[in-house]
Structure 1
Amino acid sequence: MREIVHVQTGQCGNQIGAKFWEVVSEEHGIGPDGVYKGDLDEQLERISVYYNSTGSNKYVPRAVLVDLEPGTSDSIRSGPLGSLFRPDNFVFGQNGAGNNWAKGHYTEGAELVDSVLDVVRKEAEGCDCLQGFQLTHSLGGGTGSGMGTLLISKIREEYPDRMMCTFSVVPSPKVSDTVVEPYNATLSVHQLVENSDETFCIDNEALYEICYRTLKLTTPTHGDLNRLVSIVMSGITTSLRFPGQLNADLRKLAVNMVPFPRLHFFMVGFAPLTAPASKQFRAVTVAELIQQMFDAKNMMAASDPRNGRYLTVAAMFRGKVSMKEVEEQMNNVQTKNSSYFVEWIPNNVQTSQCDVAPKGLPMAATFIANSTSIQELFKRVNEQFSAMFKRKAFLHWYTQEGMDEMEFTEAESNMQDLVAEYQQYQEATAEDVAEYEEEAPADDDE
């Protein structure tokens, strides 16, 4: 019931995806060979959200692994979870996208997309009641961004009424992997604004800071960063998979989080995050969780929520948590910091609860915020984009794959519009919003 089809594209998407399946398998008591080894009924009760059962106590992830070069999928196959995935669900090309969005979206990716869609269709048809799709990818590379967005729009065509959520790794402010990152990211956001229902923005630099500052890891590896992302990913769907007092699913989340269809880019966080050494000196209480999860240092995207206002917030608590206390503390946060919440959405914090805590923790919380400060992230990418595009630097790599300059101009202005929309609602008061609604009836027909 309520199944989710998971798609991972590109190197980044596949590495995050592999870590995610590690975390989820551990939660459901499934060994690296797919055989159930747990001892709790609730682990199997709704295991079908992410797994197909083969009947003989073996469970196979409902995952589609896509890449334009064989490297990453080979390393997943030879890794600890290699025999967990269904071999037919690996779909990979041989040429790679070479960090080029146009290759992923128009040439190399377009050749492979039909065979990917066949696998996706097969997985979707095996579901009782498909809830939606989740995609992990990065926006800076070629495959994850170019082919990832191509897949999103193709899946959207075929399943228009299903939720589409993406976990998108956005380029970091200081650390850049490739020089054409701003191009790839802008072209991708242009697609995500139109075709995704919920996009969780994650940023390597913010993750690195959390590992370094909060978890006190001196040399964080990509594995550590990916683990943080997968904890959040599992936290978002935890109330679908385990029993609880207040459940939430992808659609409920979207209904509560997206006040205007284009503004669906969320910041995420998780609590409690503590360094192993200081764990025993800290009690995990509801107040402590809430304090940490609203902390700017805890955000997994490099935007400071104090520079904007929260449109909406969702908090998912796990473990033996008193809902009364959660409600009280949440109201407390809202009344004390009312200037950071927009006043024209009165009860803009949604909470849900699930009885099963993550391994090794008495309770935990996943935090999702739709904050106007996410515009910092888009602004930053846009400035870098404009600087290069003004000189038409590196453009020939894209035009020789058949792209037109016009597409770049459109993507740029769409990104600027998005920033302007966030800014407009950040400054809006309750009276203003009523006026916008009267002035702008034309937006509905997009």
Structure 2
Amino acid sequence: MRSSSALRLYDNGIIPSNDDGVSPYLGLLADCAARILCASDTSSMLNALFESVRVKLNLSVYFCYRYDGRNGLILEEHGGLTPTQSGAASHLALGQGPCGLVAADRAPHVFNRVRGSKDARLAYARAIGLAAYVGTPLMQGDTLLGTLGFGRKATMPFSRAEVQFLRAICSFVAIAKNRLRTELTLWETTCARDALAVEQTRLVDRIATLSRLSDTSAVASTLAHEMTQPLTAAANYIASAEMALGGLGDADILRRLVQARTQITRSAQIIAKARQLVETGTVANEHANLCEVLSDSLELALADHDGAAPAMIYDIDPSVTALVGDGVQITQVMTNLLRNAATALRGVASPTITVSCRRTQDGTVEIGVIDNGPGFDPEADSARFHQRATSTTGGLGIGLSVCRSIVAAHHGTIRAENTAQGGAAVYFTLPGQ
């Protein structure tokens, strides 16, 4: 039967109350903890752990499962099993077998009378000759990483001290597995960032050789600028994770790595869309959700913004919910305009950016980005959408030549002007729905 305590006891396998305590295992625990916490890979860590405690605790086998939300439990490491035995236990559903039960309950279980039990869930344990088994979930906060279990064939129950020792070992293993998983994710993310940086350089070089494009050098330079934004954001997120990894991995580190992956994914999308535009001159004809475009653009635009973010005002025609065109490239245009406006507002009291969206009389959709900064330099009017038309005081940046190319590919127009209040405004049009 089950008790209501954290340690679940099956078939009346009550752990005996004795006076041995945990003192016989303190030295062994310290040695195991030191090895676990400095391990460089899961396999060697668990095999070394099993060998170091096997004789002392009279253990015969161990099972370490990794939890995969869609596929249940996957046997990652094991010891003391034949190939046939490990193959039979390679995958478990939640609630299946001792380890599946541990995972389903997210609580430790002790099975001290395996051979005498008629519980079908212990059939595998009986088949491989186990007399007792201890299983513990490997948790990181509320997240189930997997399970770790130890079994013995000798006819002797696990004592309270042994159970406490094995549970302590499992807690260290959970910490180490989470650290190794976080470090692997960090490494994969860094490799992806570096690969995209190489692809960025290659693509810029290719664009520079395409003589059929006008203003080729401007396009190449601007594309490099476009790619720098998300890659820099990814690098910043990864740098934060690297600093945090001075301690042990936690949910916050994983959140930052997810942010880094998001930025790198955006980088890959920009590269793919830029190649399509350069090589074919065409853009995707799709419906991009307006709210998602605005949200993603603002996040990218302010990723490396210093100081307080400008206040945002949205003046959106409620009839416009989607934009016709390539969502990634439209986001690219909006990111440039928002970033340039935010840059121009540095040092301005009560900086504010207004984003407008309305349907025009001819059926097109006009989007505007308006700031309350110093406005454009009238003398630079003719050069606003060229490569060297910068910026800080005028709200324009190097990326506007690409903005012009993207808008033109969508059969739209783009214009810049000063507002009556002295700020800067940039408007561009897209096809109507």
Higher-Rg member (1/2): 2
Larger relative contact order, structure 1 or 2 (CA cutoff 8 Å, min sep 6): 1
TM-score (norm 1): 0.22
